[in-house]
Structure 1
Amino acid sequence: MPPIAPGRTDRHYLMCEPVHYTVSYEINPWMDKTKHTDAGLAVQQWRRLRDTYLDLGHTVETIEPLEGLPDMVYAANGATVVDGVVYSARFRYAERAAEGPAYQKWFADRGYVTHTAAETNEGEGDLLVVGDLILAGTGFRTDRMAHAEAQELFGRPVVSLELVSPHYYHLDTALAVLSSTSQDPQIAYYPPAFSSGSRAVLEQLFPDAIHATSDDARALGLNAVSDGYNVVVAPGAVDLAAALTERGYNPIPVDTSELLKGGGGAKCCTLEIRAGR
């Protein structure tokens, strides 16, 4: 019998309202600067996402959006926070380079211990905490050397996973953490997004994982946010929602379609602040 959802825990999130959102450059296959983007609609969808977290009892803080940084809404890329320690992002592309220092300053101003990255990494986009492990994506945005840097900083085992499809350029577009408890960590992922060796690693570590369908993946359904019971997921990920329900989770569809034009969904908009153990 597949594992049942182990239960909800309160979460602490950082988000950035997309008041300056647009697609003015192209750095992933989802982006098309010839298509119209509606910042007003993006704000409406973002507020619905934020309010969903608040309605679920979670804590949401916000960082001031900076003009000229339209992708700052994708807060998950700004840093990785484990046990109260902040590992800053160091972006691959110049268009997003200023986001890393902006997020690091937000944390430093509030008394967090921050570490300036020496290696290229894009925060929780490629570094996902699952139980006592950190799953770390590479292949498009985050250098493998950043995995070693994160392991030394956080003192947790880091498992490198090779991404092979440009549409799933960050780990959080191809893999969702459903439960991060040490006793029963659970994930969902899209196998074709990974190299054969990385698929074998995931199968060994998570034999009961949910395998998302191609339709789920195309809807960016794996860019989901779970509190251990409630899972905020793209409305188009209907197969994933059914699989989550079968496992005892509560899928909550939230439309972030306007933000998908930039290559992000619910998880991209949500940076988790993890306190010390």
Structure 2
Amino acid sequence: MTSVSFAGPGDEPIVLDVTTPAAQVRVPTTRRYLMCPPAYFTVEYAINPWMDPTQPISTSLAVEQWTALKETYERLGHRVETIEPQPGLPDMVFSANSGTVIDGQVLGSRFRAPQRAAEADHFRRWFLANGYRDVVMPERTNEAEGDFTWTGRYLLAGTGFRTDPLAHSEAQEALGVPVISLQLTDPRYYHLDVALFVLADDLIAYYPDAFSPGSRRVLRRLFPNAILATAEDAACLGLNAVSDGRHVILPVEATALADQVAQHGFEPVFVDISELRKSGGGPKCCTMELRD
């Protein structure tokens, strides 16, 4: 066993004890992300169990945490595009919910909650203004990368709380990729991206108790070597993480998950998303990947 030190969000060292086989060499790939500054972030309604409008919110702290996340991506060599935030849309910071992009084709979103409905058209206009022509707006409720996770081979598609199951076939037609439907059962993990994330083409991490028994069997069949998160790591939104194939950006509280990630040859990179988590979001929620 080897002690490995990683930088935390304030550059303080976080030490994990890991055993990493020498053969496991993970190679990062440069990514392009779309993010939205949380200039109007607040919690003024409750559309998931994490949101409590009676609790104090610091918009300035949310901006600070979001900026640190953006700068982390840029420090790792990734390109970050931004979209202009809009007043009256406090959850627009969670850009992952507004589009799924694979091979330059875009499937937009249709939100279940009326409070977020207007976000979809702002992102549609951004795509068109930035050279995307294959933009399909869905007929069925579809909260984009909140419930659609691209593995490089399959589009894992969540349902149960937000995305209409009929949106899964709509995504297959629009994006031309095979879709695997997964049933979410715990309202705390209302989107797939708070219950599962992709580390590399051959590996995912997920919280089994967030899924139906049949979906757990599907995941075991597809990913027999998957990392299984603890209840504690799921509860801090540790699975709302972003991987570039080597670096894994995840909440600073998710130490057990980080330990497992490191054992598989990845490098955990910690960020503080405590303020953004008050709305039920984390690193991935703030990050739409533009796969051109």
Q: TM-score, normalised by structure 2?
A: 0.91
What letter matches 1:159 in structure 2?
A: I
| Residue 58 (structure 1) shift | 0.1
- 1:14-38 per-residue CA deviation (whole Å, 9 max, x = no partner) reads 0000010000000000000000000
> What percentage of aligned pairs have identical amino acids?
55
Q: Deviations over 1:202-221 (max 9, x none)?
A: 00000000000001000100
Q: 1:235 to 1:150 in 2, by over 3 A?
A: same
Q: Whole-Å Cα distance in 1 between the matches of residues 252 and 237 of structure 2?
A: 10
Count of equivalent residues: 271
Which residue identity lines up with residue 32 of structure 2 in the other structure? H
Task: State the AA in 2 paired with 1:188.
Answer: A
Structure 1 unmatched ranges of 5 or more: none
1:155-170 aligned at under 5 Å gives the runs: 155-170=176-191
Per-residue deviation, 1:6? 3.7
CA RMSD of superposed structures (Å): 1.2
Corresponding position: 1:120 with 2:123: no
Give the match for residue 160 of structure 2: 139
Correspondence for 2:38 among 1, 6, 18? 18
Distance in 2 between residues matched to 1:116 and 1:172, nearest whole Å: 21
Structure 1 residues 239 and 87, CA, compared in 2 at 3 Å: closer, same or farther? same
The answer on whether the counterparts of 1:5 and 1:179 sit within 8 Å (CA) in structure 2 is: no
Partner of 1:205: 222
Task: Read off the aligned partner of 1:52 and give its amino acid letter.
Answer: T
Q: Equivalents in 2 of 1:192, 1:77: separation in Å?
A: 23
Distance 1:211 1:109 in 2: 40
Query: What is the deviation of 1:5?
Result: 5.5
Residue deviations 1:86-130 (CA, integer Å, cap 9, x gap): 101000010000011111110011120210111100010000000
Q: How does 1:16-165 map onto structure 2 within 5 Å? A: 16-112=36-132, 113-165=134-186
Structure number with bigger Rg? 2
Rounded Cα–Cα distance in structure 2 between residues aligned with 1:145 and 1:18: 31
C-alpha distance in structure 1 between counterparts of 2:142 and 2:26, whole Å: 31
1:131 positional shift? 2.0
| 1:153 CA displacement | 1.2
Distance in 2 between residues matched to 1:209 and 1:237, nearest whole Å: 17
**3-state SS, counterpart of residue 72 of structure 1:** coil
Match of residue 8 from structure 2:
none
The offset of 1:4, in angstroms, is 3.4
| Cα distance per residue 1:185-233 (max 9 Å; x no partner) | 2100000000000000000000000000001000100000000000000
Q: Structure 1 residue 263 and structure 2 residue 280: aligned?
A: yes
